[in-house]
Chain A
Amino acid sequence: MTKEEQITAESAVDRYADMVYRLALSQMKNKADADDLFQEVFVRLVSHIGELQSWEHVKAWLIRVTINCAKKHFDLYWNKNVEFIEDEETLRGEEAYEPPSEHPVRGAVLKLPPKYRLAVHLFYFEELSVAEIAKVTEQKEGTVKSQLHRAREMLKDLLREESG
C-alpha cells in the first residue's frame, strides 16, 4: 500500500469529513452537538483503524458509528428529560441549526423524524442501497423501505405546504 493509500485516522478525516459532518448535522438538533459528534467519531476511529482493511470499510464504519453516537446522545437521560427554560441558542451562545432558506428540501428533510431523515439521507445523498442502509442501521430491509416510502409522502406534504 502506498503512503497516500495508507489508512490512518488523520487521512480518514481528510477523506470523509464532509460525509460525517453532513450526517451528524442531519441527526443532531444543533451545530454544536453536530461538531462534538464529528470529533467523537474520528477520535474513536483511532483505536479501531487497525481493524479496517479498506476505505469502503472505513466509510461504512464511520456511518455506523455516527448513527450510534447520535442515538446514544438522544438516549441520554439528560437529553430525554431536561428541558431548557431558555432557548438553547441563548445558553450556548450559538444559533440552533437552521438550513438556509434557499435549501427548502433540506429544511423539509430536517423536519422529518430522525429515522426517516437518516434513511432519506443515506439513500438519496450517500447513495447506499436498501440492504446497506439496513445493515448500517441494524434494521430489516422492509423497515427501511417503509421508512423511505413514508419519508417521501411526508416530504411531499411538507414541500407542498411550503410552496402552497
Chain B
Amino acid sequence: MTDQYMDQYKKEITQVHAPMDLIERTKASVREEERILRERRGQEETFGTAKMRSEHKIMSGTVEMRPEQKIISKAAGYADEKKREKRSAVRKWAYPLTAAAAFLILVSVSLTMRGIKGERSGMDSAFYEESAEAGAGSLEEAILEADAGASAELTTEGVSADMTVESAEEKMAVELTEDEASMEAEARRAENIESIEESAATSINEVQRSTEVRNQAVGETDDTACDMEKEDAAAAKTDLEKKKEAIVEDFADSALAVDYITIEKVDKKPAFCDLDDTKAHIYKGKTFLVRKEKTGWAAYVDAENGIGYVLRGEIENLDKFLEAGNEKLGQLDMME
C-alpha cells in the first residue's frame, strides 16, 4: 500500500515544475554573481601581479623609469623594505631577548630560593652544633676530669705510699698520712662529685641558654626544635647521672676500698675474738677472726711477722673486706 502511495507521490511531484520567471530571475542573478566574481578575481590578479612585477623590476633594476617614478618607486620600495626590515628586525631580536629574560628570571628565582634555604639550614645547624658541643663538651670534660681525678688520686696515693714506706722513721707519719690520704681522697671524691654535678648543671644551663638565644634570634618558637632540645638536655642529664653512679660504683669496686680499712697493731687478741659471733675466715693463707659490727666488719689477724693487727672497715661485703684487709697487711709488710 505504501508503494502505491509512493508511486502516486512520484507522479504528483513530477507535475511540479519551477516557474519560468523564477528560472529566468535566477539565471540573471547567477550571471550577475559570475560577473562580480570575475571582476574581483581580475582585480586581485591585476593588482597582485602588477605589484609583484614592479617589485621584481625595481629589485633587478631592469626597468628604465622616469626620475619621479624612480623616486616614488624607490621610496615605496624603501618604505616596503623598511617595513619588512622593521618587522623582521623586531622578530630577530625579540625571541633571543625573551629567552634571555626568561633564563635570568629562572636563575634569580632559583638562587633566591637556595639562599633562603641555605640561611635557614645554616642557622638551624649552627645552633644545634653549638648546643651539642656546649652540652657534650662540658659533660665529657666533667667525666674526663672525674676520671683523671680518680686516676690521679690512685697514682698519688700509690706514689705517696711508696715514698713513705722507704724510711722507718715515718711509720707513724705513714699511718697519719694514710688516714689523711683517705680523708683527702674522700674529700676529693666529694669534690669530684660536686664538680661533676656543677659541670652537668652548667652544661644543661648552657644548653638551655643556647636554646633561648636561638629562639630569640629566630623570633618564633619552633616546637619541634624545642622538643628536640629538651630531649637532648634530658638525655644529657640521664647520661650524667649514669656516669655519676658508675663513678661511685667504680670507687667502691676499685683498689681504693683499701682506704676504707683501718689497721691497728695490737699486742694481744682483742676481746671480740672470744665472742660467739666471731668467725674465722682463711684468706690467702691468713686466718682472719671476723666479726660483724654496726658499720662494716672488724677482724683480727696474726701477720707473718708475728704481730697481731686489728682491721676495721666500713665495707659491707665480707670478701671485699678481707681482700682489702689483706692488701693493707701486704702494704704494711712491705713497709716493714
Contact = CB atoms under 8 A, between A and B. Distances in A.
B30 A38 contact: no
A159 interface: yes
Contact of B5 (A21, A39, A99, A159): A159
B17 interface: yes
Interface in B8-66: 8-10, 12-13, 15-19, 22-23, 25-27, 29-31, 33-34, 37
Contacts of A39: 22, 25-26, 29
B33 A125 contact: no
12 contacts: A9-B30, A13-B26, A20-B18, A22-B16, A45-B30, A99-B12, A102-B12, A103-B15, A106-B12, A120-B6, A125-B10, A156-B1
Nearest to A44: B33
B295 interface: no
A42 interface: yes
B2 A38 contact: no
A74 interface: no
A106 B9 contact: yes
Residue among B2, B17, B37 with most chain A CB within 10 A: B2
Interface residues of B, number: 25
Contacts of A96: none
Contacts, number: 82
A18 B18 contact: yes
Interface in A14-50: 14, 17-18, 20-22, 25, 35, 38-39, 42-43, 45-47
A18 B16 contact: yes
Interface in A86-130: 99, 102-106, 109, 120-121, 124-125
Contact of B2 (A9, A125, A156): A156
A155 interface: yes
List the 5 closest pairs (A to B, CB-CB), nearest first.
A21-B18, A103-B12, A17-B18, A46-B33, A105-B9
Interface residues of A, number: 33
B191 to A, nearest CB: 105
A22 B19 CA distance: 11
Interface of B: 1-2, 5-6, 8-10, 12-13, 15-19, 22-23, 25-27, 29-31, 33-34, 37
Contacts of B6: 105, 120, 124
B137 to A, nearest CB: 87
A152 interface: yes
User: Which residue, B5, B13, B34, B37, has most C-beta atoms of chain A within 10 A?
Assistant: B13
A10 interface: yes
A18 B13 CA distance: 10
A38 B26 contact: yes
Find the residue from B2, B8, B9, B34 having the highest chain A CB count within 10 A. B9
A22 B13 contact: yes
B18 A43 contact: no
Contacts of B8: 104-105
B5 A105 contact: yes
Nearest to A159: B5
A46 B37 contact: yes
A17 B16 CA distance: 11
Nearest to B1: A156
B30 A21 contact: no
Contacts of A106: 9, 12-13
Given A109-B9, A155-B2, A38 B29 contact: no
A10 B27 contact: yes
Contacts of A125: 9-10, 13
